[in-house]
Amino acid sequence: MKLTVAGVQKEYADGINVAELVALEKIETPEYVTVSINDEFVENGSFPDTAPHDGDVVEFLYFMGGGHDAY
Amino acid sequence: MTLTNEQMERYSRNIILREVGVKGQNKLLAGKVLIIGAGGLGAPIAMYLAAAGVGVIGVADADDVDLSNLQRQIIHATSDVGKEKVTSAKESVNNINPDVTVNAHRLFVSADNIMELISPYDFIIDGTDNFPAKFLINDACVIAKKPFSHAGIIRFTGQLMTYVPGEGPCYRCVFKEPPPKDAVPTCRQAGVIGATAGVIGSLQALEAVKFFIGKGDLLTGSLLTFDALSMSFRKIKLPKRENCAVCGESPTIKEPFDYEQPVCDSQTHIECYGNP
């Protein structure tokens, strides 16, 4: 099936779940990534139970610090 | 408010824009922005907003300028090393534009001071590097109904989003809780190219300008990401989380709180809590 993941459309195995997708895409610090499918957030605990469907749009949102180096 | 001849000349490139005009320039001159963190992001934000004629710019930071800051924090110069960052930033801003009133807040934000700190300002800008501060700024702005710009940078990448009360998701909708300390790399650990901070900080300054002049679309409900290596931007739609702990339908966070207190001893107490 085709998924658009982080803006790139590619072929993925049917039935792939979000946890497997995160591993396949080699996401840095996967335990802290936020995932959305078709502009809806996937709850972090339900990655293994959530499988995108053909044509879905998947985004990864990452924690990112900032310009100030103190604190 | 009538602009002086000098102001007409200084702001001519703003005023000539159909979206700005004298009316928009007056809105900028009446604007009050608070920049939290006078670092890599805060530097271009403060400089561009000062140049644009934003009337009051607050800068909050408890640090002193360090030699390692100068690679990206272009508001500070070599001669400023050792100086309070807020003082150095104020001097730079006053040099750029004496029209601007700079409020130097020499403090780190905490739950104890943030509500009072943000209260006089129209638009808040997060230029901090740590997640407890980012969540604190988000929660305080949501509770106080203040619009704010969030941004982050690391290595060759950056991202930003804008929160406007009642108009879209907050930072906590996207990221529910801060990651544990050191779980996600910071610029200090992973590095960052100074110009990346310049790109993202300039975009935050643009959001503030657009907010004041009331033109264009803000990054509400969107996260704009930037990758300097591939030289690409992406705008990712952000949904609102109905059960968000601070901006959701039944919020459980009703006042700001600290995830971590700054590490303070008697020597640094004033710096941490900022009561000069």
Per-residue HEC secondary structure of A22-44 comes to HHHCCCCCHHHCEEEECCEEECH
Residue to test with chain B: of A58, A68, A71, most B Cβ within 10 A: A68
Q: How far apart are CA B132 and CA B134, in angstroms?
A: 6
**Looking at beta carbons, which residues of chain A come within 8 Å of B187?**
65-67, 69
**Is residue B119 within 8 Å of residue B144, measured between CB atoms?**
yes
Reduced to 3 states (helix: H, G, I; strand: E, B; else coil), residue A10 is: strand
Q: Output the pLDDT for position A66.
A: 63
Q: Output the pLDDT for position A71.
A: 37
* Residue B250 belongs to a domain: yes
Q: Output the pLDDT for position B196.
A: 95
pLDDT in tens, B67-80: 999 999 999 999 99
CB pairs under 8 A between A and B: 118
Residue B34: name the closest of B101, B96, B123 by CA.
B123
pLDDT in tens, B114-124: 999 999 999 99
**Looking at beta carbons, which residues of chain B come within 8 Å of A68?**
37-42, 61, 63, 127-130
Q: Average pLDDT, whole number, for chain A?
A: 90
Q: Output the pLDDT for position B108.
A: 93
- B200-231 burial, b at 16+ Cβ within 10 Å, e below that, comes to bbebbbbbbbbbbbeeeebbbbbbbbbebeee
> Nearest C-alpha of chain A: how many angstroms from B65?
11
Q: Does domain A2-61 have CATH number 3.40.50.1820?
A: no
Q: Output the pLDDT for position A39.
A: 94
Domain total of chain B: 1
Whole-angstrom CA distances from B84 to B79, B81, B89, B103, B187 are 12, 9, 9, 13, 21
B59: which 2 tokens? 């800068």
Residue-range definition of the domain harbouring residue B188: 18-273
* Residue B110 belongs to a domain: yes
* Residue B262 belongs to a domain: yes
B180: which 2 tokens? 């544990």
B132: which 2 tokens? 């407890």
- CATH number for the domain harbouring residue B251: 3.40.50.720
Q: Output the pLDDT for position B271.
A: 35
> Strand B101-105 vs strand B157-163: parallel, antiparallel, or unpaired?
unpaired
- For chain B, say whether A62 makes contact (Cβ under 8 Å): yes
Low-confidence ranges of chain A (pLDDT < 70): 66-71
Among the partner residues A32, A59, A70, nearest to B184 by beta-carbon distance: A32
Determine, for residues B197 and A67 on separate chains, whether the beta-carbon distance falls below 8 Å: yes
Low-confidence ranges of chain B (pLDDT < 50): 261-276
* Residue B82 belongs to a domain: yes
Reduced to 3 states (helix: H, G, I; strand: E, B; else coil), residue B159 is: strand
Q: How far apart are CA B229 and CA B231, in angstroms?
A: 5
Q: What is the ipTM of this complex?
A: 0.89
B104 pairs with which residues across the strands? Answer: B59
